[in-house]
Amino acid sequence: MATSDAAGVASAPRRAPIDAVPSTVLVLGAVASVQTGASLAKSLFDDVGPGGTVLLRVLLAAIVLGAVWRPSVRGLGRKEVGLVLAYGIALAGMNFAFYSAIDRIPLGIAVTLEFVGPLGVAVAGSRRALDLLWVGLAAAGILLLADLGGGSTDAGGVALALMAGGFWAAYILLAARTGAVFPGGSGLALAMFVASAVLLPFGIAQGGSELLSPEVLAVGAGVAMLSSAIPYSLELEALRRLPARVFGVLMSLEPGMAALVGFVVLGEVLGLREIAAIALVVVASAGAARSAAGAPPARD
């Protein structure tokens, strides 16, 4: 609301500091935050394993979301309960498979392979010849990363990253349905608690008593902030200003950002083959995002 000065002249409404930040910078900041969070999560693997790390991230995020949205299960029908359960399982599978993948292969490669999920959703059902080009480029990049017969890439890590991509595709579809049924973020909050319950035995098995270590909990809280709270806030503000297609193209830079963060933070050096493969998938994802009606939701 505009305010008035002493002379009775209306002054311009106050702008928040974030309003001065360009939308593209907000999206790129969100992407960088997510990948920095993933690199920080990798530092916990020696202490609590991928399972313990993902449990801490999801559980802490669930607690925060629960406090913000205060979701209730009263009055939910069988359909709503089933939707929340499916959404939570997709969240658990996506995060656990991805964290298990980056335990075995570089961050940039894992994120690139995982991108088959949103790419598949973007072009599913399309009859346009141009979308076949994006699929072909992405397939070429994935084959380069898989290094079939070369033996230089961990096959288990590749499989886990592709599995994470499959769960990501399911997450995108379920997120849209959940958002249409539940008000605000209440459906997401409930699904995060379901995901935490699913991850609990894996996290305890791998993390044990180390999960209660103050140092581990502190790093886990940092992962939850960098991977969830900060990027979600930046993306929400960016989506208020940017068309969905532009947002989707910018998000397609995520594999490249993951490779950069992996190199700077984790010292993961990629060869020319891996860099070329990541470039192919980035181009394919950007092209598919421009062609699609909307952009895939961000991960949780």
Within 10 angstroms of residue 243's Cβ, the number of other Cβ atoms is 12
pLDDT reading at 7 higher than 70: no
Question: 214 CB contacts (<8 Å, ≥6 apart)?
Answer: none
Contact between residue 38 and residue 228 where contact means Cβ atoms under 8 Å apart: no
Report in angstroms the alpha-carbon separations of 62 from 24, 69, 135, 272, 299.
28, 10, 35, 40, 14
Place of tokens 């992962």: 223
Q: Which of 91-100, 106-115, 270-279, 284-293 has the lowest mean pLDDT?
A: 284-293
Structure tokens, 289:
């995002």
Structure tokens, 88:
């939570």
pLDDT digits (tens, 9 = 90+) for 166-217: 999 998 889 888 888 888 788 888 999 999 999 999 999 999 999 999 999 9
- Using CA atoms, how far apart are residues 39 and 210, in angstroms rounded to an integer? 19
pTM exceeds 0.75, yes or no:
yes
Say which amino acid occupies 3. T
Place of tokens 């925060």: 64
Taking residues 99-112, what's their average pLDDT? 94
Place of tokens 């609301």: 1
Q: How is residue 212 annotated by DSSP?
A: G
Task: Tell me what pLDDT residue 205 has.
Answer: 97
